[in-house]
Structure 1
Amino acid sequence: MSILERLWRGVLIVYASDSGADTANRLFRLLRGTGVPTAMIKYDGDLGRYWDCFDAIVLVMALSGAVRLVCKYAKSKVADPAVVVIDDGGRYVIPILSAHWGANEVAEAIARLMGAEAVITTAAEYMGVTSIEELARLLHCDIVNTEELPNFYSALLSNKPICIIGINELPREVRGSYVIGVNAGCEYIITVGEPHQSLEGIRMLRCVPYKVIIGVGLMNEAGINEVIKAIRTTLNRLGIGADRVLAVASIKPRVGEAAKALGLPFRLVSTDELERVNHGCATPPSDELRRLGVRGVAELAALAAGGTSLLLRKIVIGRVTVAVARV
């Protein structure tokens, strides 16, 4: 799965001047053409309201101006979006924030789309190994003790074994000295979930798997089998197992039948609960939903049922709409 297929919350393109508008518009069309949810704005002095809403932000402006801008909003490597800069002429694509958390791959993907040159400066990419942050993203877990990352990178770039416990196999695209399980030579261990064995005297990086809530909206004509197919398709797209799903949520009771068939808990959400959701990153309603006086269903249902942030913006699968929030 390419990085563009994993930008489930989408990309925001921000251009600073009219001289960058053509490049911004070109990239907007190219990303939309690949199916990536994409928005575009001219910078108006406030990027803060968008900062937490997208997987990646592309700044079409001078690098020095982008650095000053990003410094206003950067929080931490585990919270910030991938930020990439493109010069007004569309010649160079440069990751400047969250390089190992997606920005490097986003820059390379955009460069390929535009026929530009990606400027990558991190050592893991130079060595041809998968970054530890990218591994965590593929495993759908959060690194909780990021202060250990420099030690683990030193080992990884020296080709020392990085042992992983809590999973049975590595994603096929992973490169580097990662190994499954613990052996006598393990000095560096990544634990996915809680470790079930004593690991005294060994450096440990903890990666905690997160849970999700699936929000579902559907047309009145949609059948139960369509809902089942849409949920399965969504989980396959994310690469997440059903064991990570805390609930399927909807305002339609019959979605509960689909959840039951899949062995998943169901949460019936009221329209009042949807209206009470105050989440600045939810996708704006379509013209049709506005005419009906509805702000949305799938995303808001996932959030109303306990989701803390969107993982996957709403997607339409036949007559069913699905969104996913993480907990």
Structure 2
Amino acid sequence: MRGSLLYFFHAAASAVSPLPRVTRHAAEGGPLHSPRRITALACYALSQSALPLAQRLADCLAVTPWGLPGQLQYPVRPAQPSEHPAHGKPSGLSRVEIFAPSRFCPAGVTPFEKIGSLLAATYKNFAAHAFIGATGIAVRALAPLLAHKSTDAPVIVIDPAGQHVISLLSGHWGGANELASHVAHLLGATAVITTASDTAAPVTPGADDAQPRKAAPALDMLLRNAGLLPVDWNRLPAAQAAMIEGESLNLWDPCHAVPDHPQLQRLPAGEADATPPEHRGPLVAAHWRGLAPSPAILRVAVPRLVIGLGCRKNAPGDMVETATRKLLAAQGLEPLAVAALATVKEKLQEPALLALAERFGVPLHGFEAADLARCPTPNPSAAAGRRFSQPPFSVCEAAALLAAAQIFPAGAPRLLLPKTIEQGQLTLALAISDRIER
């Protein structure tokens, strides 16, 4: 059975339903970063002299896109595994829309009257923002829109002469530091980065080192680039501050999801371990299971779960969400560890499933019924086979397995929970991909 499963895992391709911008809420400390569907940069030319530089920036990014951090957006076309946000892989930002005050706005540029009113419409709908002008104008215009470091968009400011590119907002999680460095390179300018972990002195060389070693990445960057999601956002600043001061933290990571870091000391952990061991001092604990909160633990979600769903037409959205969350809670699973939802392609526009994907902040994958029918599952349904003119098959089980294999091609997908039926209107199954190589 395993061999045939792997064959279909790599043969079946899914469609992905486009999602509106959504927010994934952490248990403590605010929301997580919201995916943005528009892979474009909004550039605000605040003076007439800034227009040539704005056009130059647009031309440069069209040729050399910025590798947009994966957690900022989901692909709106059928997803390739490497593009899924759980991997933290980049999608290219190559398109720039230029905005300028209407009093000097040329053809081909979008005019505006007041920058504050414009930002209210654009801030959540562009992957990143660049102001060409005074930093103070950008700060005052952005202030009413700021919410949380995990949801704020990356913002850079460029002086009109094109000499400096300032990372202003969301330097780490949103990628503004990387964007500023990329744009500075394109324009022949100097990037201005002020985050503490990026301005710390290089590590002192050891006896065998010919030159100083580059400082290790900040904890939030380490997690972001690995596709991991902090659950306890309000504990992250203290953990990062301790690491900047040279302290080490204990790491409990049974999933082997967190990359090595010189200031993270791994505690012994087996793949079957479900709770952190007794420990002294601060602990970073990473798992797809729901971990109990503790003042001494920074919980990190490992998004490896895929929920497969089948439902009747126009199933109630509240019932679908309640049943899904109840299932996760009953199994002791972390909601932020859900990487995707999956179903049969014909259900991609089902309102309840779209609403559920929006609430969880994850993509909804859809597979052809024929591919689902060829995927071996423990609970095939004759009714599903008749509905889609196929042999008996399980929509939720097969969709969960195929999506897990597509999203995590280096893993070993398996059913964590077989099909369960809710109120005769909804079927759910949970798949997970184990042993993913970092």
Larger Rg: 2
| SS of aligned partner of 1:96 | strand
Instruction: Say if 1:176 and 1:187 are closer, same or farther in 2 by CA, change over 3 A.
Output: same
Do the aligned partners of 1:83 and 1:97 also contact (CA within 8 Å) in 2?
A: yes
Give the stretch that moved more between structures: 133-142 or 18-27: 133-142
Residue type of the alignment partner of 2:283: I
Q: Tell me how far 1:305 sits from its aligned partner.
A: 7.1
Do the aligned partners of 1:162 and 1:190 also contact (CA within 8 Å) in 2?
A: yes
| SS of aligned partner of 1:244 | strand
Q: Tell me how far 1:49 sits from its aligned partner.
A: 1.9
Aligned partner of 2:285 in structure 1 is: 191
RMSD over aligned Cα atoms: 3.8
Q: Tell me how far 1:76 sits from its aligned partner.
A: 1.2
Aligned partner of 1:38 in structure 2 is: 95
TM-score between the two structures when normalised by the length of structure 1: 0.59
Aligned partner of 2:50 in structure 1 is: 20
Aligned partner of 1:168 in structure 2 is: 256
Instruction: Work out the CA distance in 2 between the residues paired with 1:79 and 1:151.
Output: 19
Map 1:1-327 onto structure 2 (within 5 A): 9-10=38-39, 11-33=41-63, 34=65, 35-43=92-100, 44=112, 45=114, 46-101=118-173, 102-127=175-200, 128-166=215-253, 167-168=255-256, 170-171=258-259, 176-181=262-267, 187-193=281-287, 203-210=296-303, 244-247=339-342, 265-269=343-347, 306-308=357-359
Instruction: Say if 1:175 and 1:9 are closer, same or farther in 2 by CA, change over 3 A.
Output: farther
TM-score between the two structures when normalised by the length of structure 2: 0.46
Instruction: Work out the CA distance in 2 between the residues paired with 1:137 and 1:39.
Output: 25
Q: Tell me how far 1:311 sits from its aligned partner.
A: 7.6
Aligned partner of 1:287 in structure 2 is: none
Identity score, percent: 25
| SS of aligned partner of 1:72 | helix
Instruction: Say if 1:270 and 1:192 are closer, same or farther in 2 by CA, change over 3 A.
Output: closer
Unaligned runs of 5+ in 1: 1-5, 214-242, 248-264, 278-301, 313-323
Q: Tell me how far 1:191 sits from its aligned partner.
A: 2.2
| SS of aligned partner of 1:150 | helix
Instruction: Work out the CA distance in 2 between the residues paired with 1:9 and 1:190.
Output: 33
Does 1 or 2 have the higher relative contact order (CA < 8 Å, sep 6+)? 2
Instruction: Work out the CA distance in 2 between the residues paired with 1:7 and 1:93.
Output: 23
Instruction: Work out the CA distance in 1 between the residues paired with 2:356 and 2:296.
Output: 37
Do the aligned partners of 2:339 and 2:362 also contact (CA within 8 Å) in 1?
A: no
Q: Tell me how far 1:67 sits from its aligned partner.
A: 1.1
Give CA-to-partner distance per residue, 1:239-272, whole Å, 9 cap, x none. xxxx83321xxxxxxxxxxxxxxxxx5342466x
Instruction: Work out the CA distance in 1 between the residues paired with 2:221 and 2:50.
Output: 30
Instruction: Work out the CA distance in 1 between the residues paired with 2:119 and 2:169.
Output: 15
Count of aligned positions? 234
Instruction: Say if 1:69 and 1:192 are closer, same or farther in 2 by CA, change over 3 A.
Output: same
Residue type of the alignment partner of 2:297: M
